[in-house]
Structure 1
Amino acid sequence: MLSVANLQAAYGESRVLFDVHLEIADGEVVTLMGRNGMGKTTTVRCIMGLLAPQGGSIRFEGRDVAGLTPERIARLGAGLVPEGRQVFPTLRVRENLVATAANRLGRADPWTLERVYGLFPRLKERAGQMAGTLSGGEQQMLAIGRALMTNPRLLILDEATEGLAPVIRREIWHCIEHLKAAGQSILLIDKNLAVLKRLADRHYIVEKGRTVWTGSGADMDRDAERVHGYVGL
């Protein structure tokens, strides 16, 4: 589904990515891990067309998408839950959910308002509330719901539970488990190593803009000291 190879990127004269690679097959949950500032979000920005790569390749559903606009990549089926949520604060919850809703790929069981409300009942309770007045956890639920309403082939969650209360984190993890069981392909960035190890099919770690480790949860256990050295946990 997604193949990233030898990805290189920079902000102006400052090179951030030197050699990032990762792959996600249909129906897989894959993590991208590493300490802050190592290139995780920059990798996501390149995948989503928010930053033009300077080298390497990004193939999505067999198509080279490097350099395409974010709109075109989204139309191909990539959905992003960005770091910091970035909901539309002056729109109501329901308006956030329907603003970018689409089923361009003709999914037989598309995500609808009622399906999202079933996943996050709190959003239904606050359907008429301005998004900017929601708690951080509620905004994260809304950001996930908004991405699901685009009916993506690949869902990307950047810092899925960062800064959230433990009870909200558990709710978000439950949501991700539900999506995995339904066959949703997911690229997941987070720092909760124990949950990620259990939940994901495969893991990639980036260090100073390079992919330095990849493996399964079992591989992570066998190589625990090295993994902990990279992720700083």
Structure 2
Amino acid sequence: MLSLHNLTAGYGGSQVLFGVELAIGAGEVVTLLGRNGMGKTTTIRAIMGLLPSVGGRVWGGGIAVDGAPVAGLPAHRVAQLGLGLVPEGRQVFATLTVEENLLATAANRSGRATPRWTLEEVYAFFPRLQERRRNPGAKLSGGEQQMVAIGRALMTNPRLLILDEATEGLAPLIRAEIWSVLAKLKAEGQAILLIDKNLAAVSRLADRHVVIEKGRTVWTGTSADLAASPQVRDSYLHV
């Protein structure tokens, strides 16, 4: 579904990515792991066509969706191919209500005749959002904003859901709820690309992990492989 080959990118004259390799098939859950500042968010921005909006660009290598190159496409065209993003920092519309935030992105990019995700389905997944549906984004807690961000991405009915720092800064109960939701999505066959620092949680959820260090892919493997590789965790993941 999505593949990156020798991806290089940067901002201005500063190179950040030096050769990222990654692939995700339909229904897979894959994590992108690495310490802060190693290029994870830049990789996501490159995939989504968002680098130009922050002064960056893809320098070389390939990004393909279903085998077709997408590097250089504007962000809205990438989204139309079925990639839904839950960005770092949530970025909900502060002056719109919960319901308006969700409806603002509603589309059917799944390829199915009938969309899986409707307003009612998102509310069933996140009952708290239905309770808060008239509240503006600025009046929500961090956890509620993250639920809105996930719900907003699901309302595009994506073929691939991408989450940048899925549970960062959230209270333990909210984190547990988010992990439960992601597990349910996986069980339904939703393809997911995930960035998060909780190794225990991502190891339970993901099919494969991709580790990057200083903008390069340095390791790829399953959760069992990661558990059996303390040197990988010590060298590339632990602070």
Q: Shift of the alpha carbon at 1:106?
A: 4.3
Percent of residue pairs bearing the same amino acid type: 66
Q: Distance in 2 between matches of 1:230 and 1:130?
A: 40
Q: Shift of the alpha carbon at 1:100?
A: 1.3
Aligned residue identity for 1:151: N
Q: Name the Cα RMSD after superposition.
A: 0.9
Moved over 3 A (4+): none
Cα shift readout 1:168-209 (whole Å, capped 9, x = no counterpart): 000000000000000000000000001111110000000000
Q: Distance in 1 between matches of 2:26 and 2:209?
A: 15
Any gaps of 5 or more consecutive residues in structure 1?
none
Question: TM-score, normalising length from structure 1?
Answer: 0.98
Cα shift readout 1:7-43 (whole Å, capped 9, x = no counterpart): 0001001110001010000000000000000000000
Q: Shift of the alpha carbon at 1:110?
A: 2.2
Aligned to 1:143: 149
1:73 aligns with 2:78: yes
Aligned residue identity for 2:104: A
1:223 aligns with 2:229: yes
Aligned to 1:47: 47
Q: 70, 93, 99: which one pairs with 1:88?
A: 93
Q: Distance in 2 between matches of 1:9 and 1:226?
A: 24
Q: Distance in 1 between matches of 2:169 and 2:105?
A: 26
Aligned to 1:154: 160
Name the CA shift for 1:131/1:232 in 2 (closer, same or farther; >3 Å).
Answer: same
Q: Shift of the alpha carbon at 1:228?
A: 2.9
* Contact 2:108 2:115 (8 Å CA) reproduced: no
Q: Which moved more, 1:75-84 or 1:95-104?
A: 95-104
Cα shift readout 1:33-92 (whole Å, capped 9, x = no counterpart): 000000000000000001231000000122100000000000010000000000000000
* Contact 2:49 2:72 (8 Å CA) reproduced: yes
Question: What aligned pairs does 1:47-196 form with structure 2 within 5 A after superposition?
Answer: 47-51=47-51, 52-107=57-112, 108-196=114-202
* Contact 2:109 2:159 (8 Å CA) reproduced: no
Any gaps of 5 or more consecutive residues in structure 2?
52-56
Between Structure 1 and Structure 2, how many residues are aligned?
233
Q: Distance in 2 between matches of 1:9 and 1:109?
A: 34
Aligned residue identity for 2:30: V
Q: Shift of the alpha carbon at 1:109?
A: 4.3
Aligned residue identity for 2:217: T
Task: Say which SS state the counterpart of residue 53 (structure 1) adopts.
Answer: strand
Question: TM-score, normalising length from structure 2?
Answer: 0.95
Task: Say which SS state the counterpart of residue 204 (structure 1) adopts.
Answer: strand
